[in-house]
Structure 1
Amino acid sequence: MDFDFTDDQQALREAVRRWVDKGFAFERRHTLAKAGGHSRAVWGELAELGLAGLAVPESQGGLGFGPVEAMLVNEELGRGLVHAPWTNAALAVPALLAAAPEALQGEWLPRIADGSALVVLAQQERAARWALDRPATRAERRGDGWVITGTKIVVPAGDEADAFVVPARIAGADGERAGIGLFVVEAGATAITPYPTQDGARAADLRFDAAPAALIAEDGLERLEHAVDIALAGIAAEGVGLMDRLLAMTVEYLNTRRQFGVPIASFQALRHRVADAKMQLELARSMSYYATLKLGAPAAERRRAVAQARVQLGQAMRFVGQQCIQMHGGIGVTDEYAGSHYFKRLTVLELAFGDTLHHLGEVSARMEDTAGVFV
């Protein structure tokens, strides 16, 4: 199998890397974080590069690219610690809107592609523990439309978004796969409580009180699972970019910092720790590729592959982040040093769309007769 990237894919990677190097140095990220983490301006710049419409069909004004291109972009955005909810808004949301009626697609997808609208997925609830089939949010018909009542939490850039894609139960009981609808709810119909997150970004809790909603699909759980898997593969790629850059920064520091008249990179114990971190990084990279390539597989195969990748990524992000910070010593945890911000972002990613323990449970539930061997 040929794992080489095409010339067009390499050109896309280089274009994103050039923008990151030129337009998103750490000083800008640090300034944004200290100012509260607002990212709408960054979203606009990504849209100017065409990245907001990367996964939007060409018929709706986007680029119509696939999972591999998205993976490359996510790696570069991770490497640059770019401050925007790109995976959620540019990958997961277009996948969900693909199931919407043509009129609703025409209303939102072109605006997502040109950056004039920011639409994010709001699926997490306090009691659901990342289970997608247990939304407490309810939707009901009212007249010719729908209204939604309930609460969603930790919604990325929730106070900057123009609208939200919201899963809500239409019929049935918790845990039933049928009866979960997908809706678009505009921000003006929502009570929003914003707050900064640990990694310097922003999130918000949303409260819907009979909020008017536009129906995407009445039976949308499979589509939601697919979109979340797309987001998880994107998180894996972003994590690889974050770890790659943090490890490079650590090696540079070890080669610069001197003790007893020699660079500390010459100490065997530290060299072994760098080797261990590099091994975890490459394991994570291979599993990121695996998850990306499985996004087009049948649902059961795709969900198992993504969960397996997410377990490996969770373990790697924690290990690489902790090792790199420890090898830096005290400077590694200072707010003025970029390494601490990479570590914070890795820590937050480890909890996104389910923590490592949650996905280990997903892997276990899908092992069937494999006796614990990943196949």
Structure 2
Amino acid sequence: MNFDLSPEQAMLADTLSAFLERNWDEAAHAAGEAIDIVRYRDFWRRLCEELGLAALMIPTHGGGLGGGAVETMIVMQAFGKALVHGPYLSTIVLAGNTLAAAGGDEVRSILGGIMAGDVTVALAHNEGSTRFDLASAGTAARRDGTVFKLSGTKSVVLQAPVASHFLVTGGVEGGGVSLFLVPADASGVTMEPWRSVDGQPAGTVCFDGATALFMVGGEGEGAAVLSPWIDHAILAQCAEAVGIIEALISHTAAYLVQRRQFGQPLSAFQALQHRLADMVVLREQARSMLYMAVLTDDPARRKSSVSAVKILIDRALRHVSQQAVQLHGGMGITDELRIGRYFKRGLVICASFGSEDEHFRRYDAEMLTA
């Protein structure tokens, strides 16, 4: 099987990497307690205007260019290497695809705003009691005439401070979970902003009778509407993790060559060579698993493939990031080096979209019914 990128895909990778090198200052974005919303939104708008990155990934029936899983993988690997923690994952991979699949006149207007860079969307689903169970939501959605009003609190909403809209899960009276799009500036929406451990903007969002713009999909069908695109987002984040693993190994190998001890470079010590070799083996395994999952066309194998790659890549990311920190010594965990920031981003990735135990259970269930 040929895993080479097409000329167009290679151009996308090169152009995006060059753009990020010129325009993305990760350390500046992650520094300090205050979140510079204007800077985040300006960077995102430039990505959309100059590279057309949002339109590239929106399906053609939603007005976009219809890029697929391979293009998403290319983008997220570049983001991983550059430590970009912008709204791409939540706005395009999750919200953009979910809205495009739902269709409708209201959706087309929102998709136009997304492609122009004016609309950014954060997924508001996590709750203290339900964690990441898509079929459960403590937030209540009550019908009020022709609209729905939402009441409840969503925790750990990544990208919340820079979002113009929230994609919110809410339990409806007839049972089940529905999906709603709610403007961030709607009456009844309040947010407590903070930074996650990797420096990206996040927040706790409270809905107190907030009016939804519209329901995405049918009533009680929120989990069914969202689930396929959650799997797509997991693969995208796994691609980001592979980019981080590649960067960690590159930085660590360079450091071992440059740093000298007992009159010779650290790279001359066999024990350290073995540890670096183990990191490279895990990188190749992670990359191979990612390709396997991205190129899986069989819907029956999709969920099991996604869970398998999530489990393996999370483990590889943890091991490689821990080894990179140790091989750099005490300064490896500090924010003075990128190694420490890669490590922290890895912690957030491993904690996203369900735990390892949850994905083991899903993998077992899918394999038993296959």
Q: Smaller-chain TM-score range?
A: over 0.9
What does residue 207 of structure 1 align with? 206
Q: Which runs of 5+ in 1 are unaligned?
A: 174-178, 371-375
CA contact (8 A) 2:120 2:165 kept: yes
Q: Is the alpha carbon distance of 1:155 and 1:66 closer, same or farther for their aligned partners in structure 2, counting shifts above 3 Å?
A: same
Query: 2:103 and 2:28 mapped to 1: Cα distance?
Result: 41
Q: Is the alpha carbon distance of 1:52 and 1:110 closer, same or farther for their aligned partners in structure 2, counting shifts above 3 Å?
A: same
Deviation at 1:58, TM superposition (A): 4.1
What does residue 41 of structure 1 align with? 42
What does residue 102 of structure 2 align with? 100
Q: After the TM superposition, which of the residue ranges 101-110 and 65-74 deviates more from structure 2?
A: 101-110
CA contact (8 A) 1:314 1:355 kept: no
Q: Is the alpha carbon distance of 1:83 and 1:37 closer, same or farther for their aligned partners in structure 2, counting shifts above 3 Å?
A: farther
Query: 1:165 and 1:290 mapped to 2: Cα distance?
Result: 30
Per-residue Cα deviation, 1:142-182 (whole angstroms, up to 9, x for no partner): 11111112221111111221111112222455xxxxx3211
Deviation at 1:369, TM superposition (A): 7.3
What does residue 366 of structure 1 align with? 366
What does residue 2 of structure 2 align with? 2
What does residue 194 of structure 1 align with? 193
What does residue 321 of structure 2 align with? 321
What does residue 32 of structure 1 align with? 29
Superposition map of 1:327-366 within 5 A: 327-366=327-366
CA contact (8 A) 2:26 2:84 kept: yes
CA contact (8 A) 2:54 2:92 kept: yes
Query: 1:37 and 1:233 mapped to 2: Cα distance?
Result: 28
Q: Is the alpha carbon distance of 1:369 and 1:114 closer, same or farther for their aligned partners in structure 2, counting shifts above 3 Å?
A: closer
Query: 1:37 and 1:306 mapped to 2: Cα distance?
Result: 33
1:209 is aligned with what amino acid?
Answer: D
Deviation at 1:101, TM superposition (A): 4.2
Query: 1:326 and 1:57 mapped to 2: Cα distance?
Result: 43
CA contact (8 A) 2:165 2:184 kept: yes
Per-residue Cα deviation, 1:266-285 (whole angstroms, up to 9, x for no partner): 10000000011111111111
2:231 corresponds to 1:234: no
Query: 2:173 and 2:100 mapped to 1: Cα distance?
Result: 23
What does residue 306 of structure 1 align with? 306
Query: 1:34 and 1:306 mapped to 2: Cα distance?
Result: 33
What does residue 139 of structure 2 align with? 137
1:90 is aligned with what amino acid?
Answer: I
What does residue 256 of structure 1 align with? 258
2:130 corresponds to 1:128: yes
Q: Pick the aligned partner of 1:293 from 274, 292, 295.
A: 295
Query: 1:302 and 1:171 mapped to 2: Cα distance?
Result: 32
Per-residue Cα deviation, 1:246-271 (whole angstroms, up to 9, x for no partner): 11000000000001111110100000
1:119 is aligned with what amino acid?
Answer: V
Q: Pick the aligned partner of 2:177 from 180, 186, 189.
A: 180
Query: 2:161 and 2:35 mapped to 1: Cα distance?
Result: 11
What TM-score do the two structures reach when normalised by structure 1? 0.91
CA contact (8 A) 2:87 2:120 kept: no
Deviation at 1:118, TM superposition (A): 0.7
SS in 2 for 1:74: helix
What TM-score do the two structures reach when normalised by structure 2? 0.93
Report sequence identity in percent. 37
What does residue 176 of structure 1 align with? none
Query: 1:284 and 1:37 mapped to 2: Cα distance?
Result: 33
CA contact (8 A) 2:62 2:103 kept: no
C-alpha RMSD over aligned residues:
1.7
What does residue 282 of structure 1 align with? 284
Deviation at 1:67, TM superposition (A): 0.8
SS in 2 for 1:133: coil
1:368 is aligned with what amino acid?
Answer: L
CA contact (8 A) 1:158 1:203 kept: yes
Q: Pick the aligned partner of 1:164 from 153, 163, 166.
A: 166
1:324 is aligned with what amino acid?
Answer: A
What does residue 373 of structure 1 align with? none
Deviation at 1:195, TM superposition (A): 0.5
1:297 is aligned with what amino acid?
Answer: D
Query: 2:103 and 2:23 mapped to 1: Cα distance?
Result: 38
SS in 1 for 2:243: helix
Query: 1:330 and 1:2 mapped to 2: Cα distance?
Result: 42
Query: 2:348 and 2:16 mapped to 1: Cα distance?
Result: 23
| Number of residue pairs aligned between Structure 1 and Structure 2 | 360
2:119 is aligned with what amino acid?
Answer: A
SS in 2 for 1:367: helix
